Amino acid sequence: MNSFRNQKVFIPVNMATVSSSIVESELFGYEEGTFTGALKGGKTGRKDWWN
């Protein structure tokens, strides 16, 4: 294959076992004070890394 990721480790994740709120906060981020333990200033979602 010609992918630059073909030599990287692939870790399969069973998404059925992951809470939907965790998936949402990881993909789309969150604002400060959204939930207990949220980082001060919020967090940028992973979708912003893709662009």
Cα 38–Cα 43–Cα 44 angle in degrees, nearest 5: 160
Give pLDDT, residue 11: 87
CA distances from 49 to 1, 13, 23, 36, 40 (A): 24, 20, 15, 25, 20
DSSP characters over 21-44: HHHHHHHHEE-TTSSTTPPTT-EE
Residue-level pLDDT, tens digit, the chain, 51 residues: 688 878 888 889 898 898 887 777 777 777 776 666 666 777 766 666 665
